[in-house]
Structure 1
Amino acid sequence: MTPLNYKHLHYFWVVAQEGSITRAADRLGVAVQTISGQLSLLEKQLGKALFNSQGRGLVLSEAGRVAQGYADQIFQLGEALTEAVESSGSASTLRLRAGISDGIPKLLAYRLLSTVTSMPTDVRLICDEGEFETLLADLALHRLDVVLTDRPAPASANLKVFSTPLGEFATGLFAIPALAERYRDNFPACLEGAPLLLPTRHNALRGRIDRWLESTNILPKIVGEFEDSALLTTFGRGGLGIFPAPLALAEQVAHQLEAVPLGAMSGVSELIYAISNERRIRHPAVEVLCAAAPQGVLEPRV
């Protein structure tokens, strides 16, 4: 198949934005005939008409709407590339653009990503938080180098990514001291009717907690459900209820959230994955991140 001519595609993209070959020619500073000729070549290569006539103007055909969607991504990514190169600063600084799924604990994300700061090269972390599907889309468009999440990427012929397990972190329940004093004795039976803060059912950890509660025949009072783990722990720090957190981070939870562990939930763990693009040459900071967990650097189990 003949490689796509991106100059032809760019002319098409501008015409689609302007809705007129004449306006596109004025914007690009070229002759109308030049744009018409190159649009014809693009349509011939694709085997589809990209525009339909409507009155004195043009409207996108169904094929044209599909092409415009891809062109938007291609040229927006090109603009992002230019901006990234211009703002890259020192050649010795390595940028790691990490997406953090909103469901995973932020203290855990910090602990995982901090492993790359020990690299000999200066590393600049650029972190973005969002929903799982949105972050995967940004990864596919190379807006991110890696995504930290609680599940592997779904199998898809169109999604060329690689999932690396970073660790399995045993999870317990925590509460501020005043609340812990009321529910500390006879764990986990003390949780009957206790106020509990949980992630929503979109979070993989929620299913494990629900199964544990069912196995212990305990019925707490669920007073809050949160998509964002940071919001969950903020309400926990405020004393609204008991909340889950990795036991490996008990010291950090005590220091930052002023909460103490009540007990472990047997068999309940937080699973963390790093998802990156499949490339023969991977980002060096992603390599360090993925190599750290198997070597025990993160001490994933308690």
Structure 2
Amino acid sequence: MPPDGTIAMTPEQHGDLKIDLRQIGYFIAIAECGSITRAAARLGITQPSLSEAVARLERDLGAALVLRTGRGVVLTRAGAALAAHGRVILGAVQAAVRDVRQLGAEARGPVSLGLTPTLTSLIGVPLAETVAHEHPEIQLLISEGVSPVTLEGLSNGRLDLGVCYEGHDFGAFEAEPLWEEELFLLSAPDDWPDQDRDGCFVRRPLAFRDLAGLPLILPNRPNGMRNLFDRIARSRGVELKAVLELNSLGNAISIVTRASAHAILSHAAVVREAERGELVLVPITDPPLTHTAFLLRRKGQPVSSASQLVERLMIRILGEMIARYGLRARLLRGAAG
């Protein structure tokens, strides 16, 4: 036997290891107690049973793990290595069990969700109310922000789940298309004399090239929607007239309702103003404009049951809003996820 007490293992022995976590726990108790007798008392088993467990472990590993003395036992170098690795192994297993139980158990705990201003306005309140009423054990925190802010929150772990519109780099995230919206030219009713309407929708569409003659409120660059407008304008050889550039959805809508300018937004962004007759929506053609929202998580991030439930509720409520308001939008994910 080598000086450190190890015994050479054959290739066959490598394939026959049958060590379980209980054996590792037993050995750690011996290492901490310095005595098989005291370790047996701590573990609630007999001393002969523990001695046999140690002997079996030594046979399985092909190494002497303890040296018996008149005062108890002393670990060999191999035994000290097993005790050190065993503590790490048991700690990792215990952490894994805690995580699995938390993630797989009944949905509960905090969930942080980042939404665009449009979606916050549309589903923020009903989603928060639904979670509070149906699942009070979940603490939902909704953060409103433009897509770059949501992406930053997902990257640094502040957000568990986020919704962002296309036009950004989603390489660091698990990204799934959530819904697609049609975009319209928004106008105050007095600013658009066409009376041929279907509710808030003007029946006669406007070609994209004709946007060039209108005073527009456009998002600040860089912005996914602004990139879309700029790309199409270049392809059509037209220049859009931005009388104001801002990313504040509320301010842009307010300016349009005052008949000071036009904007290009979705029906979902202005559903309440349209219902009150404060805005009309003009379809855009050649080409029609749409944009897609994506559901995002950071790659490798554990997904809790609570987060999955919030995701399903969000999709369900989006479907309800499409039906209730007749939104020109469609879900790209089913309510079952």
Assess if the C-alpha contact under 8 Å between 1:172 and 1:244 holds in 2. Answer: yes
Q: What is the aligned counterpart of 2:302 among 260, 279, 291?
A: 279
Q: Distance in 1 between matches of 2:248 and 2:206?
A: 27
Partner of 2:113: 98
Partner of 1:204: 224
SS state at 2:289 partner: strand
SS state at 1:181 partner: coil
Assess if the C-alpha contact under 8 Å between 2:205 and 2:282 holds in 1. Answer: no
User: How many residues are matched?
Assistant: 203
Matches of residues 1-302 of structure 1 in structure 2 within 5 Å?
Answer: 95-100=110-115, 104=116, 106-113=117-124, 114-115=126-127, 117-118=129-130, 120-122=134-136, 125-130=140-145, 132-151=147-166, 154-156=170-172, 161-181=173-193, 187-188=206-207, 191-216=211-236, 218-247=238-267, 251-255=271-275, 258-265=278-285, 266-277=287-298, 278-282=301-305, 283-289=307-313, 292=316, 299=322, 300-301=329-330
Over aligned residue pairs, what C-alpha RMSD do you find?
A: 3.8
Assess if the C-alpha contact under 8 Å between 1:233 and 1:257 holds in 2. Answer: no
Whichever residue aligns with residue 198 of structure 1, its letter is L
Judged with a 3 Å threshold, the aligned counterparts in structure 2 of structure 1 residues 155 and 215 are, in CA distance, closer, same or farther, namely closer
Overall identity of the aligned pairs, in %: 19
Q: Distance in 2 between matches of 1:279 and 1:93?
A: 15
Assess if the C-alpha contact under 8 Å between 1:225 and 1:232 holds in 2. Answer: no
TM-superposition CA deviations, 1:69-116 (whole Å, max 9, x none): xxxxxxxxxxxxxxxxxxxxxx9986542223xxx4x33333354457
Structure 2 unaligned runs (5+)? Answer: 1-105, 196-201, 323-328, 332-337
TM-score (norm 1): 0.53
Whichever residue aligns with residue 166 of structure 1, its letter is L
TM-score (norm 2): 0.48
Cα deviation for residue 289 of structure 1 reads 4.9
Q: Distance in 1 between matches of 2:319 and 2:250?
A: 26
Assess if the C-alpha contact under 8 Å between 2:218 and 2:246 holds in 1. Answer: yes
Partner of 2:83: none
Structure 1 unaligned runs (5+)? Answer: 1-90
Judged with a 3 Å threshold, the aligned counterparts in structure 2 of structure 1 residues 243 and 94 are, in CA distance, closer, same or farther, namely farther
Q: Distance in 2 between matches of 1:186 and 1:285?
A: 40
Q: Which one has the largest radius of gyration? A: 2
Q: Distance in 1 between matches of 2:147 and 2:205?
A: 37
TM-superposition CA deviations, 1:142-199 (whole Å, max 9, x none): 322222211365324xxxx422321111111111112222898772365342111111
Judged with a 3 Å threshold, the aligned counterparts in structure 2 of structure 1 residues 149 and 176 are, in CA distance, closer, same or farther, namely same
Assess if the C-alpha contact under 8 Å between 2:253 and 2:270 holds in 1. Answer: no
